[in-house]
């Protein structure tokens, strides 16, 4: 079952340090751009993943084409893709050994969530970490 209680979500966000953001954007008008900055401002290392802007930088971080290129442990894969495309990101998250997948508001893919859970990953769907951090009063994480 996806994480839904405040305690579960608080524990996940408090324990995480590195977040890979699939669907990160270099456009200030996109939600992922603002969420990435917010997460960085709260002490998370956020690694952007977007094949359309691979090799560029967003908020000082190199943009990777796919999760498998990152080459370091990932706590949470934050998915800014539509529900149908979320499955591919979840499969990549499983392949790289991420600890959790987080599907943004409006992103719900039950089949992908079931695959992630079967592989031992925690799952959050249809929520935004920026909103949850503010709502739950999670302070700055220390690296």
Q: Which domains does the chain have, with CATH numbers?
A: 6-136 (3.40.50.720)
Q: What is the pLDDT of residues 39-57, one digit of tens each?
A: 999 999 999 999 999 999 9
* Interatomic CA distance for residues 104 and 114, integer angstroms: 16
Can you tell me the distance from the alpha carbon of 51 to that of 133, in angstroms, rounded to the nearest whole number? 28
Identify whether the C-beta of residue 43 lies closer than 8 Å to the C-beta of residue 143. yes
User: What's the pLDDT band for 142 if we cut at 50, 70, 90?
Assistant: low
Check residue 2 and give its pLDDT.
Answer: 86
Residue where the block lists tokens 């706590």: 75
pLDDT tens column, 96-128: 999 999 999 999 999 999 999 999 999 999 999
Looking from the CA of 8 toward its CB, the CA atoms found within 13 Å total 11
CA distances from 100 to 13, 52, 54, 116, 124 (A): 10, 24, 23, 8, 8
Q: How far is CA 46 from the centre of its chain?
A: 8
Q: How far apart are the first and last CA of the chain?
A: 29
Dist. CA 141–CA 52, nearest whole Å: 30
What are the strands, taking DSSP E only, across 1-143? 18-22, 45-49, 57-58, 61-62, 76-79, 100-103, 122-124
pLDDT tens profile 70-99: 999 999 999 999 999 999 999 999 999 999
* Measured distance CA(121)–CA(11) in Å, rounded: 14
């Amino acid at each position: 079952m996806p994480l839904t209680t405040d305690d579960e979500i608080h524990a996940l966000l408090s324990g995480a340090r590195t977040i890979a953001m699939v669907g990160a954007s270099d456009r200030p008008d996109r939600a992922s751009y603002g969420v990435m900055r917010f997460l960085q401002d709260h002490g998370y290392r956020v690694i952007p993943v977007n094949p359309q802007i691979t090799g560029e930088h967003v908020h000082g971080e190199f943009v990777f084409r796919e999760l498998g290129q990152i080459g370091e442990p990932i706590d949470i894969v934050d998915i800014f893709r539509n529900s149908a495309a979320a499955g591919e990101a979840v499969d990549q998250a499983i392949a790289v050994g991420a600890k959790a997948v987080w599907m943004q508001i409006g992103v719900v893919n039950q089949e992908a969530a079931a695959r992630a859970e079967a592989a031992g990953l925690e799952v959050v769907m249809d929520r935004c970490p920026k909103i949850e951090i503010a709502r739950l009063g999670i302070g700055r994480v220390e690296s």
